[in-house]
Structure 1
Amino acid sequence: MAFTLGSLVLLCGISGLLTGVWSATIVPVKGNNCPKGWTQLDCYCYIYEDERRTFADAENVCNILGGNLVSIHSDLENALVLELSEAGGVAPGGGIWIGLTDAVSEDDFMWTDGSNVDFTNFSGGEAGDDDGDCVAMVTDTGEWVDDICAIPLPYVCIRETFRH
């Protein structure tokens, strides 16, 4: 039976290639490569955590979960993090921690996961001269602002997908 079904799928596929018309779209079902409750984008898993924590405490929780505070490297990733925070119930204009900080050296930003800072989305185009050394995403715009690390905020963690 499996051979017959496989042959039928192959035949339909060949027929579709020859005629330029597909009679059905066949999508293989694969297991999720992220832990339950996490959202996958490419090779990474993301989770929004609603419990408010300081920047350092949030990073520690993300470490326990096998990752770090989220590092963002594209508009798509920024939009995903914003969407996760909105789905999690953060009020517009609120803030969430992301894993960017200049606590080690002023104006020399680094991600807590050690990845390159190859994308930023600071409000006004660059980091402000605020007293804060940690970066939060503003949840109505997706823009980033410097903030005081001791302020408790919700946050997003990132980790690699499971390897099979």
Structure 2
Amino acid sequence: MVYLMERGLVLFVLTGVITNVGFGQTHYNFVNTPLNWTNAQRVCRDDFTDLATIQSAADVDAVGNTASSDTGKAWIGLHDDLQNSWMWSLNDSSFYGEGEATYRNWYSGQPNNYAGRENCGELWSLYYDKWNDVSCSYNRRSVCFSGTLNGKATFVRIETLRNWTEAQRFCRENYVDLASIRNEPEHEMVKRVAGDNFVWIGLYRRKVWSDGSDSLYRNWENNQPNTTGETCVASSLESGLWSDEDCSIQLPFVCYTATPAPVEDFRSTGQNQTSVTLQWNKVNNNISFILQFNGTETNIRAPDGDGPVTHTVSSLSAATEYTFTVFSVFGSVRSGGVSINAVTDYVYRFKVSFSSGGELSQHEKEALLDQLIEKYGLPPQSVRNRSIT
């Protein structure tokens, strides 16, 4: 296979074998052509779903099974994003105004993930009055957020030395959380509270998956991750254990293809002579849909919020039965289809003349209408409004 990359004439000719092993809703794909991590990610996104996300020991086994007799290491989707993966311990979105959750005040050259293990943020108050990334296992004083007073955040310094996780637990049990710093005035406030100390604040980060998954599963080799500058992760094809590696080296890689779950509770919620309204349960914000009928396909995005997906098909013919099929779609992969039939409204008017005299009773009129429905082959369930005069 030949892959054309963006920006210039970069050709990757993949001559290795591609194998596929299915596990649940995820299919892992081993590509035995060495590329650097960034180019491997691009190939996975172009031709599959993304670089492999691993969420369990069973996934580790499934990834290993794709490589058959191959040895060595292969890229997976876990990597460091030193600038964009930082977050606050206090994760209440209502606490942050526009731009406040991403306020940063790093010291020059930080964060640098020295030795590959710096995942927590501290305030260097004693020397620089700026932030630094450091190993979460160090013992520090800490600054807790203790709530608001007259609309302003308040903070308290904790003298007991703790690692970041212990400091977070203490702040949550006794105050609100470790300190979030949303802007320059709050940075100045926390500096004053910190005094001449190195203190924990609520900033931390995790390695992130290429597809944005929140999986916390890890399967590190002993003493891994261990090196500054090695910000991408590879899996051993023999043991399944992980190591951090220089992203520029060339390794084979494991992609995955995600098969989304079929939609649930697909139904018709109403119709008239020329339209049918359809509804089904939303899966999540990452899943879109394709509606198929009469040889056409319509792309439908998931709505905001948690409610169901509603879509009205218009310009239909009256008194006609249609088959509608809906697919869940993730990336370029669609689920199996779920189908229903729906009938647009019938509108028939009958004018009946009688040669005999006298007035028909209502019961006789209803019986006559039923005879006409049967004579003209109309489905009885389609006659929802009967008007007899």
Taking structure 1 as the reference length, the TM-score comes to 0.69
Distance 2:19 2:34 in 1: 18
Partner amino acid for 2:248? A
The DSSP-based 3-state class of the residue aligned with 1:150 is coil
Structure 2: 5+ residue runs without aligned partners?
1-17, 84-112, 114-118, 120-205, 260-333, 337-389
Distance 1:90 1:56 in 2: 22
The DSSP-based 3-state class of the residue aligned with 1:81 is helix
Given candidates 135, 140, 152, the residue that maps to 2:233 is 135
Give the CA deviation at 1:66.
3.4
Give the CA deviation at 1:126.
4.9
Partner amino acid for 1:76? A
**2:78–2:210 Cα contact (<8 Å) kept:** yes
Distance 2:25 2:227 in 1: 34
**1:109–1:117 Cα contact (<8 Å) kept:** no
The DSSP-based 3-state class of the residue aligned with 1:123 is coil
Distance 2:19 2:60 in 1: 19
Distance 1:80 1:37 in 2: 12
Distance 2:20 2:73 in 1: 20
Counterpart in 1 of 2:54? 72
The DSSP-based 3-state class of the residue aligned with 1:155 is strand
Give the CA deviation at 1:69.
0.4
**1:103–1:134 Cα contact (<8 Å) kept:** no
Matches within 5 A, 1:41-56: 41-56=23-38
Cα distance, 1:77–1:56 mapped onto 2, change above 3 Å: same
Matches within 5 A, 1:1-164: 38-85=20-67, 87=68, 89-91=69-71, 94-105=72-83, 106=113, 107=119, 108-124=206-222, 126-161=224-259, 162-164=334-336
Distance 2:78 2:224 in 1: 13
Distance 1:148 1:55 in 2: 9
Partner amino acid for 2:70? V
Give the CA deviation at 1:102.
0.7
Structure 1: 5+ residue runs without aligned partners?
1-35
Give the CA deviation at 1:37.
5.1
Greater helix share, structure number: 1
Give the CA deviation at 1:75.
0.3
Distance 2:223 2:57 in 1: 14
Distance 1:51 1:66 in 2: 15
Distance 1:37 1:140 in 2: 16
**2:224–2:244 Cα contact (<8 Å) kept:** no
**2:52–2:77 Cα contact (<8 Å) kept:** yes
State the Cα deviation string for residues 99-152 of structure 1 (Å, max 9, x = none): 000143444300001001320001127522353100001222211000000111
The DSSP-based 3-state class of the residue aligned with 1:146 is strand
Taking structure 2 as the reference length, the TM-score comes to 0.31
Q: Which has the higher contact order (CA 8 A, sep 6+)?
A: 1
Distance 2:229 2:22 in 1: 34
Give the CA deviation at 1:45.
1.5
